[in-house]
């Protein structure tokens, strides 16, 4: 199999706040060349690098807001995140757990620090990805998948290299718990010091990784913590080495070859559909959710 070479190693840009609870570095779509089309089906990636939030009696986060046309996927590494939405779904995720919310035709939701975590304060670290939906599924029914510790599938690497947690898609013969609308793989590689792991994805899949913890080597090239590696759309396989213990989020997906019209919390195919989404939201068609 041919090697999938690195196209770019991208440092985190200056952080900004989403609400008052998420201090994030945006990678997709604001760090060139990570545009929505370049990384499709991943159209947004915010990364809250490890950051200490002091104790707070009022949970910090983002208040009620709408989404339509895609899925929000929140992966917690430190701290705990709570979610409520107008489809009646809610959940709390902690370290190593994932919220997979399909907004599709539209929901209101709120995202904030879990209550006990807020009260105690502590290190907070998470990733939020927006996974686009193909046109035919954009107006399907909203749903929620809480992927907790018990249903994360794990592949144990040889030679005590570590473990691959499969959130969606697969690694070797292990399939992830999350169901997806288009083919994609979302993996957490938790590597021990000295660990080595090989990955292989189809050439045309848009593929990248984010170093959550530790320093790693990708095809022999050193990559620092909190950096994103974008791979070329040629070759299939690459290798990650962990000179020290490391956590790496690996994403790879088949691009959705459709036009993208995005504005704020809506990702549709045309300008008309964005206007419709705003109108539907203003008319209360996304349901109701208390602050
Ligand atoms: Mn949201």
Residue 287, in any domain of the structure? no
CA of 64 to the centre of ligand 1 (A): 8
Mean pLDDT along residues 240-265: 98
Q: For position 236, what pLDDT does the model report?
A: 98
Burial 198-219 (b: 16+ CB within 10 A, else e): ebebeeebbbbbbbbbbebebb
Q: For position 55, what pLDDT does the model report?
A: 98
Q: Per mean pLDDT, which range of 48-52, 148-152, 174-178, 202-206 is the poorest?
A: 148-152
DSSP 79: S
Question: Would you give the end-to-end CA distance of the chain in angstroms?
Answer: 52
- State how far the Cα of 66 lies from the Cα of 106, in Å rounded to an integer: 7
CA of 172 to the centre of ligand 1 (A): 32
Mean pLDDT along residues 240-252: 98
Q: Does the predicted model carry a pTM greater than 0.85?
A: yes
95 three-class SS: coil
CA of 290 to the centre of ligand 1 (A): 15
pLDDT band at 146 (very low <50, low <70, confident <90, very high): very high
Q: What's phi and psi for 270, nearest 5 deg?
A: -145, 160
CA of 90 to the centre of ligand 1 (A): 13
CA of 131 to the centre of ligand 1 (A): 12
Find the domain containing 23 and state its range.
6-282
Residue 289, in any domain of the structure? no
Mean pLDDT along residues 166-181: 98
As a whole number, the mean pLDDT across the chain is 97
Mean pLDDT along residues 136-151: 95
Beta bridge partners, 191, equal 162, 246
pLDDT band at 291 (very low <50, low <70, confident <90, very high): confident
Residue 155, in any domain of the structure? yes
Residue 239, in any domain of the structure? yes
**Cα dihedral 226, 110, 179, 274 in deg (nearest 10):** -90
CA of 161 to the centre of ligand 1 (A): 35
Residue 68, in any domain of the structure? yes
Mean pLDDT along residues 74-86: 96
Residue 164, in any domain of the structure? yes
Mean pLDDT along residues 144-158: 95
Q: What's phi and psi for 38, nearest 5 deg?
A: -65, -35
78 three-class SS: strand
Mean pLDDT along residues 86-112: 94
> Residue 179 is part of a domain; what is its CATH number?
2.60.120.10
CA of 162 to the centre of ligand 1 (A): 32
CA of 128 to the centre of ligand 1 (A): 9
Asked if the peptide bond before residue 18 counts as cis, ω within 30 degrees of 0, the response is no
Q: For position 128, what pLDDT does the model report?
A: 98
Residues 6+ apart with CB under 8 A from 136: none
- State how far the Cα of 122 lies from the Cα of 120, in Å rounded to an integer: 7
pLDDT > 90? residue 192: yes
- State how far the Cα of 287 lies from the Cα of 198, in Å rounded to an integer: 45
CA of 110 to the centre of ligand 1 (A): 7
Q: For position 256, what pLDDT does the model report?
A: 98
Number of domains in the chain: 1
């Amino acid at each position: 199999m041919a090697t999938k070479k690195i196209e770019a190693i991208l440092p985190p840009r200056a952080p900004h706040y989403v609400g008052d609870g998420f201090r994030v570095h945006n990678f997709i779509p604001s760090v060139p060349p990570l545009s929505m089309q370049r990384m499709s089906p991943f159209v947004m990636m915010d990364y809250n690098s490890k950051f200490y939030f002091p104790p707070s009696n009022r949970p910090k986060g983002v208040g009620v807001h709408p989404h339509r046309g895609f899925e929000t996927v929140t992966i917690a590494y430190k701290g705990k995140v709570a979610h409520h939405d107008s489809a009646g779904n809610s959940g709390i995720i902690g370290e190593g757990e994932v919220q997979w919310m399909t907004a599709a035709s539209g929901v209101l939701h709120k995202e904030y620090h879990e209550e006990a975590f807020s009260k105690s304060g502590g290190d907070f670290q998470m990733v939020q990805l927006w996974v686009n939906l193909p046109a035919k599924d954009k107006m399907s029914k909203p749903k929620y998948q809480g992927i907790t510790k018990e249903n994360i599938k794990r592949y144990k690497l040889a030679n005590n290299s570590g473990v691959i947690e499969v959130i969606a898609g697969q690694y070797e013969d292990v399939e992830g718990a999350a169901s997806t609308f288009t083919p994609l793989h979302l993996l957490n590689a938790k590597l021990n010091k000295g660990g080595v792991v090989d990955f292989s994805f189809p050439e045309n899949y848009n593929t990248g990784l984010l170093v959550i913890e530790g320093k790693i080597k990708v095809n022999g090239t050193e990559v620092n913590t909190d950096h994103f590696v974008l791979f070329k759309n040629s070759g299939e396989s690459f290798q990650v080495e962990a000179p020290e213990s490391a956590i790496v989020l690996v994403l790879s997906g088949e691009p959705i070859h459709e036009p993208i019209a995005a504005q704020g919390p809506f990702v549709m195919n045309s300008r008309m559909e964005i206007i419709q989404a705003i109108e539907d939201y203003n008319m209360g068609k996304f349901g109701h959710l208390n602050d």
